[in-house]
A = this chain, B = another copy of it.
Amino acid sequence: MNKRLLQVLRSGPEDEVLWPPPIWMMRQAGRYLPEYKATRAEAGSFLDLCYSPKLATEVTLQPIRRFGFDAAILFSDILVVPDALGRKVTFEPGVGPRLDPIKVSEISELTIAGALDHLKPVFQAVNDIRAALPPEVTLLGFCGAPWTVATYMVAGRGTPDQAPTRVFAHQHRTAFLNLIGILTEISIDYLCAQIEAGADAVQVFDSWSGILGESDFNDFCLDPMKRIVAGVKQRHPDTPIIGFPKGASLHYERYVRETGIDCVGLDWTYPMKLARERLGGHAVLQGNLDPTRLVAGGDALREGVATILSEAKGSRFIFNLGHGITPETPIDHVAEMIAQVRAG
């Protein structure tokens, strides 16, 4: 059975372009869906939901049933990795994630032995989703990039500009690079295990890569991603890897060329024309609708989608948002967006 989205991910610069483009949405399983909220209410904590193969499978499939997206993405959270490393992670409703901020002395004590065992329910979910998914739908696994995961481990929470972690990284550079190294290593194992459980492709989310100066970007984002791509490709050379260095703007080009990713996620600030010119020869493009246009609907949505389609047409392209869909997004707007994309 032909998986259109996987076909695009595997295509090269000389291959014929698939049009209309395949489509999925970051956070497509989430609080904008009433059926998600119902399942969420059944689970205890948010992490209980992530670690229940049955419930994680259910919420992963919900947006596929409702909208027929071309890809399903494993329902999970980037912070299951610190949780698996033995750090305390909780999700407080309406407040967001809270972790015990890691101390310098605790970094050298981190060990990835046993962490993958802790994540077995996730791999079971991947397996179950694969079994339940229509055969034409591509299944994506994912993880957070080391820098982005580290920002939560150090600060203990999300912050507007990750200043606590930037200060920590500057004050304790050796220890911080060790932390990045550990997260890089476990990310490789974690992504490979998802692939072995049935993921067709994987995406690495570096949601905070745009907040760094150039040398820090090189050390904390670019080099680790090179190692992740090399490590995963060594074991699974045919599995496409999507990199999403959100906000990395001026660094996107080097990120795409130097990491060897197959597809690059574009946030909404990256102009599609520039992406075709500078990135399109090296990777499949994915993105990049401003999620607030999807919330707004009407002309803002139609014009946003139309601009992307017209500028991306002729390139290897997967339609997506430029960041995750937000809870207040009207479901009708999602349906309208999909119809417009599928009309090409």
Contact = CB atoms under 8 A, between A and B. Distances in A.
Contacts of A291: 163
A292 B166 contact: yes
Interface string A154-184: 0000101001001100110100000000000
Nearest to A252: B250
Contact of A170 (B160, B274, B293, B307): B293
A296 B167 contact: yes
Contacts of A296: 167, 170-171
A290 interface: yes
B268 A213 contact: yes
Contacts of A249: 249-250, 269
Contact of A270 (B163, B173, B250, B268): B250
A170 B305 CA distance: 13
A335 interface: no
A118 to B, nearest CB: 30
A292 B163 contact: yes
Contact of A300 (B173, B268, B270): B173
Q: Which of A163, A269, A304 counts the most chain B CB atoms within 10 A?
A: A269
Interface residues of A, number: 39
Contacts of A290: 166, 170, 213, 216
Contacts of A304: 213
Contacts of A216: 290
Given A163-B326, A249-B249, A250-B250, A269 B211 contact: yes
B292 A271 contact: no
Contact of A292 (B167, B173, B326): B167
Interface string A106-132: 000000000000000000000000000
Interface string A50-84: 00000000000000000000000000000000000
A215 interface: yes
A140 to B, nearest CB: 24
A72 B153 CA distance: 39
A135 interface: no
A301 B212 CA distance: 15
Nearest to A269: B213
A298 interface: yes
A211 B247 CA distance: 9
Q: Which of A166, A215, A270, A298 counts the most chain B CB atoms within 10 A?
A: A166
A238 interface: no
A136 interface: no
A12 B186 CA distance: 53
A295 interface: yes
A188 to B, nearest CB: 27
Contacts of A270: 250
A298 B268 contact: no
A163 B295 CA distance: 10
A184 to B, nearest CB: 22
Contacts of A215: 307
21 contacts: A163-B292, A163-B295, A166-B292, A167-B296, A170-B292, A170-B295, A170-B296, A170-B300, A170-B301, A171-B296, A171-B300, A210-B210, A210-B269, A211-B269, A213-B290, A213-B304, A215-B307, A217-B269, A250-B250, A250-B270, A250-B274
